[in-house]
């Protein structure tokens, strides 16, 4: 269900009636979503250095990147409902995923034409996936598996689909290294499990380059539509690490062992058309018509009887499921060791010293 103009106006009115101060973070978020919904992406100059409030507002608005006006309107309505559960929108039920998803700006969940959309929303960092985002995505998938949508879609905001794991994930957490890597392995395992077990059709709209784990989990999707600007890159060896996302099993099955090794061991970056020829991508669209064509396709597919699609997906998936879980467990075990290796530590240091981009 997409929020109408009237829902939006109601939500704006409800904010004015709030009896309690929702706090600065919430107010900044409301401001940013309101501006994005009414004016589109921020294109005004950054306020002067001593205008702290003006700069905080500008930052919050700018962080929304190119989020479409309709999505911002929907997010505003949903956010107002979450501030005051008794304030429900006049259009009835909102996206079910919001009910159990913690507040997150980096992973945005919306609902449209029976389709739940999970958008990676860190365009300034090329949608790199933080530790928190792994957990939010896991929750979002769990919620989407139970909501009333027919299809779930994954995409990225901005010019990247995702640059994969945020390489600062291991430098900004507390506790011993062993403990941090054990927790990370568990978080990764839960994250990948939620793709393996996802019960409905899951579609990726790869709007731009994809790196690392953003590529590997594609082997667990039911369809992958890509812009012709998308590329697919798994530079694991150069980072001193090993494949995850079940790719050590799905990629050889999808593209054959030789092509899988070229990507997963030698780190060859491939184009969208190459990925399509190799079976990782379902179809490639010209970038300037990508959104329109892919959404026309999805909207038509979402009209199919949902139970038949769900049962069909389960048939396709059920026989390999135990193997996928076993592969996931083993990949996470091996990675936990690799993260401690000198090769991996050096590669991450090199990236942050700005000498080692892909
Ligand atoms: C729970 C743990 C689970 C772990 C699971 C493991 C998964 C494995 C992987 O996913 S491996 C892949 C890891 N990703 C990378 O190695 C990509 C690193 N990024 C780059 O090489 C480049 O940034 C780029 C090629 C993606 C884009 O280059 P470009 O020049 O176009 O842009 P910038 O480099 O200036 O990027 C803009 C800002 O974004 C930051 N950034 C981009 N990607 C990441 C990332 N993966 N991790 C952290 N930060 C990233 C970049 O540092 C810039 O930030 P700045 O503006 O503050 O400088």
Choice from 124, 125, 126, 328 to test ligand 1 binding pocket (greatest atom count within 8 A of CB): 126
**Tokens 């990370």 belong to residue:** 184
Q: What is the structure's pLDDT at 157?
A: 96
In whole angstroms, how far apart are CA 107 and each of 38, 110, 248?
21, 10, 27
Choice from 120, 123, 124, 128 to test ligand 1 binding pocket (greatest atom count within 8 A of CB): 128
In whole angstroms, how far apart are CA 112 and each of 1, 117, 295?
5, 8, 11
Q: What is the structure's pLDDT at 355?
A: 60
Q: What's the CA-to-centroid distance between 231 and ligand 1, angstroms?
A: 14
Closest CA to ligand 1's atom 11 = 212
Q: Which two tokens stand for residue 346?
A: 């050096």
Q: Is the interface score ipTM higher than 0.90?
A: yes
Please name the helix (run of DSSP H) or strand (run of DSSP E) that holds residue 120, with its range, or none: strand 115-120
Q: Which two tokens stand for residue 139?
A: 């929750």
Residue ranges around ligand 1 (CB below 6 Å): 125-126, 128, 131, 134, 163-169, 184, 187-188, 211-213, 235, 239, 244, 351, 357-358
- The DSSP call for residue 165 is B
- Whether residue 65 contacts residue 123, with contact meaning beta carbons closer than 8 Å, is answered with yes
Q: What's the CA-to-centroid distance between 17 and ligand 1, angstroms?
A: 42
Q: What's the CA-to-centroid distance between 113 and ligand 1, angstroms?
A: 33
Q: What is the structure's pLDDT at 17?
A: 66
Closest CA to ligand 1's atom 32 = 126
Q: What's the CA-to-centroid distance between 233 and ligand 1, angstroms?
A: 12
Say how many C-beta atoms besides its own lie within 10 A of residue 292's C-beta: 10
Burial label for 334, CB within 10 Å (0-12, 13-18, 19+), is middle
Q: Which two tokens stand for residue 193?
A: 């499990």
Closest CA to ligand 1's atom 52 = 125
Q: What's the CA-to-centroid distance between 357 and ligand 1, angstroms?
A: 8
* pTM of the complete model: 0.76
Q: Which atom of ligand 1 is nearest to the CA of 134?
A: 1
Q: Which atom of ligand 1 is nearest to the CA of 164?
A: 10
Q: What's the CA-to-centroid distance between 167 and ligand 1, angstroms?
A: 6
Mean pLDDT (10-residue bins), the chain, 358 residues: 78 73 83 93 84 82 91 88 52 34 80 92 97 96 95 97 94 79 95 97 98 98 98 96 98 98 98 98 98 96 96 91 97 95 89 71
Q: What is the structure's pLDDT at 64?
A: 93
Q: What is the structure's pLDDT at 46?
A: 87
Closest CA to ligand 1's atom 54 = 125
Q: Which residues of 28-53 are buried (b: 16+ CB within 10 A; e: fewer)?
A: bbbbbbbbbbeeeebeeeeeeeeeee
Q: What is the structure's pLDDT at 205?
A: 98
Q: Which domains does the chain have, with CATH numbers?
A: 5-83 (1.20.80.10), 121-356 (3.90.226.10)
104: three-class secondary structure by DSSP:
coil
Q: Which two tokens stand for residue 15?
A: 């904010």
Start-end of H helices in the chain: 5-17, 24-39, 52-62, 69-83, 97-100, 131-146, 177-196, 213-216, 247-255, 257-264, 272-277, 290-301, 306-318, 321-339, 342-352
In whole angstroms, how far apart are CA 110 and each of 73, 76, 89, 143, 231?
10, 11, 15, 12, 26
Q: What's the CA-to-centroid distance between 93 and ligand 1, angstroms?
A: 37
């Amino acid at each position: 269900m997409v929020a109408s103009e009237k829902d939006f106006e109601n939500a704006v009115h409800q904010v004015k009636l709030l009896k309690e101060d929702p706090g600065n973070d919430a107010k900044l978020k409301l401001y940013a979503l309101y501006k994005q919904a009414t004016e589109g992406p921020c294109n005004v100059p950054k306020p002067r250095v001593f205008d702290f409030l003006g700069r905080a507002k500008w930052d919050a608005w700018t962080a929304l990147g190119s989020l479409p006006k309709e999505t911002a309107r929907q997010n505003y309505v949903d956010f107002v409902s979450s501030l005051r559960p008794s304030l429900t929108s006049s259009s009835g039920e909102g996206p079910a995923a919001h009910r159990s998803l913690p507040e997150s700006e980096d992973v945005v969940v919306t609902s449209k034409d029976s389709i739940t959309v999970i958008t990676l929303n860190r365009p300034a960092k090329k949608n790199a996936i933080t530790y928190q985002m792994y957990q939010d995505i896991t929750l979002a998938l769990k919620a989407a598996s139970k909501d009333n949508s027919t299809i779930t879609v994954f995409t990225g905001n901005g010019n990247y689909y995702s640059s994969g794991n945020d390489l600062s994930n291991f430098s900004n957490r507390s506790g011993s290294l062993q403990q941090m890597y054990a927790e990370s392995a568990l978080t990764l395992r839960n994250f990948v499990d939620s793709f393996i077990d996802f019960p409905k059709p899951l579609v990726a709209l790869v709007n731009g380059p994809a790196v690392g784990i953003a590529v590997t989990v594609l082997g667990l999707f039911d369809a992958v539509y890509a812009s012709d600007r998308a590329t697919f890159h798994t530079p694991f060896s150069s980072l001193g690490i090993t494949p995850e996302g079940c790719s050590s099993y799905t990629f050889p099955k999808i593209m054959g062992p030789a092509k899988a090794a070229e990507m997963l061991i030698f780190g060859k970056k491939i184009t969208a058309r190459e990925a399509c020829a190799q079976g990782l991508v379902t179809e490639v669209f010209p970038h300037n018509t990508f959104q329109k064509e892919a959404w026309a396709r999805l909207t038509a597919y979402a009209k199919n009887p949902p139970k038949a699609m769900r049962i069909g997906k389960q048939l396709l998936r059920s026989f390999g499921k135990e193997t996928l879980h076993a592969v996931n467990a083993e990949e996470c075990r091996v990675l936990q060791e690799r993260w401690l290796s000198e090769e991996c530590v050096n590669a991450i240091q090199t990236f942050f010293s700005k000498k080692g981009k892909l």
